[in-house]
Amino acid sequence: MLPAVPKPLVHMLAQRYIAGPTLADACREVKTANAQGKLATIDVLGEEITRDDEARAIAGAYRDVFQTIDREALDSNVSVKLTALGLKLDYDLCRENLESVLREAAGRNNFVRIDMEDSSTTDDTLRLYRELRESGYENLGIVLQAYLRRTLDDIRSLADLRPSVRLCKGIYVEPPELAYQGYEEVRGGFLRGLEELLDVGCYVAIATHDEWLVSEGRRIVARRGLGREEYEFQMLLGVAEPLGNRLVREGHRLRIYVPFGEHWYGYSLRRLQENPRIAGYIAADTFGRLVPRRNGSI
Ligand code: FDA
């Protein structure tokens, strides 16, 4: 139903998930997270771009983000979506844009993580990741999705690079040939992926708000005797804050994903789709309460 919901309403409902339209908004959220003992990763929203100059502008926006991180002494790295840097327009343009962001990050001793998008981008994303690591960029991480049937194979084929990997369930709608569909199957894929990543010596960011997976993650890192610096948990801005606060109190590292920018629509739809209460929000009677009524309409 969500795509049928008017854009202004999507915007209103999704506000908790997005810092705001500007870098100053992201900066404010990161400062709040840092003050609570949390790290951050900043995402410039931009996946709906359709032109080369827009992709270059997103790369420029990331370079500004790094300047701001240093100037404001923020404890944050960045996350990028390759489609926002032009992957669907031209692979080489995307590579050029990503390299410009990576150079800025490297010069500032910071780090870039490539988000993983839908399965039409997986091969190119992993290819670009390998190319850039092999050409010497150490400050680059990747995301793998537990719902994809290929993920264990991907872990094994990336193992020689010892990648820094964010492991998440995966959010895009994928067919059963490519992705597990059942809730428990995806959880199973997540745990197998986590064990395999740790077996091959990767730094893993355990990205989930699923309380059961969080406790399994805690148990696995404890069983392996991993120190605080050897893994982290990650959560999205505006989701499961009490669970995140508990992790921080227990002494785990937690990084909050902070998106900002004008291209908020696609990201917002995905977050609303995952919110267990959203069906209620968009039910007809709630609509009536959320949308201001006009008085004296004809
Ligand atoms: P699940 O969806 O089962 O949620 C567990 C519980 O968390 C829910 O029952 C609910 O209580 C709460 N919750 C989750 N989402 C909520 C929401 N929007 N509003 C309110 N409550 C909510 N995916 C991808 O394909 N590529 C990527 O690069 C990334 N990157 C990424 C970074 C980070 C830091 C995180 C945390 C997640 C991602 N994801 C992602 C998204 C991920 O694949 C997944 O869709 C979401 O994290 C939701 O899955 P959970 O593991 O939280 O479980």
Tell me the C-alpha distance between 163 and 73, whole Å. Answer: 26
Sign of CA dihedral 9, 11, 12, 14: positive
The predicted pLDDT at position 68 comes to 98
pLDDT of residue 283: 64
Domain count, the chain: 1
Q: Is the pLDDT reported for residue 23 higher than 80?
A: yes
What residues make up the domain containing 207?
Answer: 19-260
Residue 272, domain member (yes or no): no
CATH number at residue 248: 3.20.20.220
Residue 6: pLDDT band with limits 50, 70, 90: confident
Report the pocket of ligand 1 as residue ranges, CB < 6 Å: 115-116, 143, 145, 166, 168-172, 207-210, 234-236, 239-240, 257, 271, 274-276
* Ligand 1 centre distance from Cα of residue 93 (Å): 30
Active site residue 187: no
The answer, yes or no, to whether residue 294 has pLDDT greater than 70, is: no
Query: What value does the mean pLDDT take over residues 215-235?
Result: 98
**Atom 51 (ligand 1): residue with closest C-alpha?**
208
What's the chain's average pLDDT?
93
The pLDDT-based confidence of 297 (bands split at 50, 70, 90) is: very low
Marked catalytic residue, from 113, 166, 187, 271? 166
Q: How far is CA 73 from CA 34, 41, 232, 276, in A?
A: 10, 14, 21, 36
66 and 108 Cβ atoms separated by less than 8 Å: yes
Write down the pLDDT at residue 48: 76
Tell me, yes or no, whether 296 lies in a domain: no
Q: Distance between CA 270 and CA 61 in Å, rounded?
A: 23
What single-letter amino acid sits at 237?
Answer: L
Tell me how far the alpha carbon of residue 209 lies from the centroid of ligand 1, in angstroms: 6
Residue 165 lies in a domain: yes
- CA pair distance 219, 123, nearest whole angstrom: 32
Q: What is the DSSP string of 50-67?
A: -SHHHHHHHHHHHHHHHH
Close Cβ partners of 193 (under 8 Å, ≥ 6 residues apart)? 144, 146, 151, 152, 155, 167
Answer whether residue 91 shows pLDDT above 70. Answer: yes
For 76: left if phi > 0, alpha if psi spans -120 to 50, otherwise beta; the answer is beta
- For residues 167 and 272, the model is more confident at 167
CB 232 within 8 A of CB 253: yes
Alpha carbons 95 and 54: distance in angstroms, whole number? 15
The pLDDT of residue 288 is 54
93-141: per-residue pLDDT in tens?
999 999 999 999 999 999 999 999 999 999 999 999 999 999 999 999 9
Provide, rounded to the nearest whole percent, the portion of the chain with pLDDT above 90. 83
Q: Domain for residue 266, yes or no?
A: no
Is residue 280 assigned to a domain? no
Pair of tokens at residue 241:
């804050």
The catalytic position among 95, 113, 115, 154 is 115
Residue 96 CA, ligand 1 centroid: distance in Å:
30
Whether residue 126 lies inside any domain: the answer is yes
Cβ neighbours of residue 50 under 8 Å, at least 6 residues apart? Answer: 89
Q: Is the pLDDT of residue 7 over 50?
A: yes
Query: Which whole number is the average pLDDT over 186-198?
Result: 98
Please list, in sequence order, all residues whose beta carbon lies within 8 angstroms of the beta carbon of residue 253, skipping any fewer than 6 positions away: 39, 228, 229, 231, 232, 233
Alpha-carbon gap, residue 250 to 68, rounded angstroms: 30
pLDDT at 263 over 80: yes
Q: What angle do CA 136, 158, 80 make, to 5 degrees?
A: 65
Residue 54 included in any domain:
yes
User: What pLDDT was estimated at residue 75?
Assistant: 98
For residue range 241-255, what is the model confidence (pLDDT) as tens digits?
Answer: 999 999 999 999 999
User: Is the model's pLDDT at 53 over the cut of 60?
Assistant: yes
pLDDT of 192 higher than 60:
yes
Q: Is residue 225 part of a domain?
A: yes
